[in-house]
């Protein structure tokens, strides 16, 4: 009888705890912009009590308490928000903070979706971890639909500019490189030793990309113009095969399908030989 009462008491305790029995956590702190977007896409925006200073999407999260940047989150700020769960990215500094939080008895969920082939499974797992399986399954299916490879017999030589000065491009092992391959592009930096290598202007001219892709933004406009000025001997620059995209592919989040669509629109630019 005593054992039965003990089992019942434990069951009641587990059900009462947030995050168990399919109950979404009531207080969530996100340590990555991509995870903030993901939580909101899964219907948990009202449960977010803390985000990073870089979390800017969706616009409706403006005003949420912040816990520092993704690279330097404050343990004290996180603890002050009394979270039921803290979301961390596998590649961010938050993964180190997660160990400290776990020692303090705070539940953490690590998102393992830094590559495109891992993204949909990671979304489903996140849905399971946060008690929102149905919307997670729907989002994962939408992502999978967008990741069908584009059949092409002649991949377009492409440079994806992360930052123009100094010139940093998307390299092998990065999500951007994955997206380029899926979209019928051949990355001119595919032989680099890192996912985000620095390239010399001379190397770019030698490799002669057929298409240049870069992000948008006021901070990028000036440096980008100067970089293209140094590359004006390339037919790609002369003919305007320079495509500006949003930050959708910079974050392993719910806007990946839109990012893939943008890349494929850029591919049309290369085939047309002019501006979109």
Q: pTM for this one?
A: 0.87
57 versus 276: which is more confidently predicted? Answer: 57
Tell whether 15 is covered by a domain.
no
pLDDT tens sequence across 169-218: 999 999 999 999 999 999 999 999 999 999 999 999 999 999 999 998 87
CATH assignment of the domain containing 94? 3.40.50.1980
Tell whether 3 is covered by a domain.
no
| 97 — pLDDT class (breaks 50, 70, 90) | confident
Tell whether 265 is covered by a domain.
yes
Do 67 and 108 belong to one domain? yes
5 versus 231: which is more confidently predicted? Answer: 231
* Chosen domain end from 117, 146, 175: 146
Alpha helix locations (H) across 133-213? 133-146, 175-182, 201-207
Give the separation between CA 33 and CA 22, rounded to whole angstroms: 25
* Chosen domain end from 146, 176, 204: 146
Q: Which domain holds residue 242?
A: 156-272
Mean pLDDT of 232-238: 96
Do 165 and 255 belong to one domain? yes
Tell whether 6 is covered by a domain.
no
| 268 — pLDDT class (breaks 50, 70, 90) | confident
Do 166 and 264 belong to one domain? yes
Count of domains in the chain? 2
Give the separation between CA 205 and CA 30, rounded to whole angstroms: 41
Do 124 and 216 belong to one domain? no
Residue carrying the six token digits 């929102």: 132
Kind plus residue range of the DSSP H or E element containing 50: strand 48-50
Tell whether 12 is covered by a domain.
no
* Contact predicate 215/245, CB 8 Å: yes
* Chosen domain end from 146, 178, 202: 146
- Beta carbons within 8 Å of 159's beta carbon, 6+ residues apart: 169, 187, 188, 189, 199, 204, 207, 209, 211, 212, 213
Nearest to 212 by CA among 136, 153, 139, 160: 160
Do 24 and 141 belong to one domain? yes
Do 132 and 175 belong to one domain? no
Mean pLDDT of 224-232: 97
User: What distance, in Å, lies between the first and last C-alpha atoms of the chain?
Assistant: 75
Do 63 and 163 belong to one domain? no
């Amino acid at each position: 009888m005593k054992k039965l009462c003990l089992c019942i008491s434990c069951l009641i305790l587990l059900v009462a705890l947030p995050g168990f029995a399919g109950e979404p956590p009531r207080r969530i702190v996100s340590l990555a912009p991509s995870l903030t977007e993901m939580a909101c896409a899964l219907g948990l925006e009202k449960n977010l009590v803390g985000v990073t200073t870089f979390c800017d999407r969706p616009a409706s999260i403006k005003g949420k308490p912040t816990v520092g940047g993704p690279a330097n989150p404050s343990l004290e700020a996180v603890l002050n928000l009394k979270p039921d769960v803290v979301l961390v990215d596998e590649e961010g500094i938050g993964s180190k903070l997660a160990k400290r939080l776990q020692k303090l008895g705070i539940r953490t969920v690590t998102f393992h979706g830094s590559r495109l082939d891992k993204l949909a499974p990671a979304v489903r797992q996140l849905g399971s971890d946060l008690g929102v399986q149905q919307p997670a399954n729907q989002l994962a299916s939408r992502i999978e639909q967008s990741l069908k490879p584009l059949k092409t017999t002649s991949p377009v030589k492409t440079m994806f500019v992360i930052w123009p000065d100094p010139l940093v491009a998307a390299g092998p092992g990065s999500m951007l490189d994955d997206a380029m391959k899926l979209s019928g592009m051949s990355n001119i930096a595919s032989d680099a030793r890192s996912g985000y290598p620095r390239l010399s202007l001379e190397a770019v001219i030698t490799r002669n990309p057929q298409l240049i892709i870069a992000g948008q933004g006021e901070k990028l406009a000036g440096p980008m113009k100067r970089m293209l000025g140094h590359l004006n001997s390339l037919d790609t620059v002369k003919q305007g095969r320079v495509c500006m995209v949003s930050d959708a592919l910079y974050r392993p989040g719910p806007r990946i399908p839109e990012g893939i669509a943008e890349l494929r629109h850029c591919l049309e630019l290369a085939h047309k030989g002019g501006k979109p």
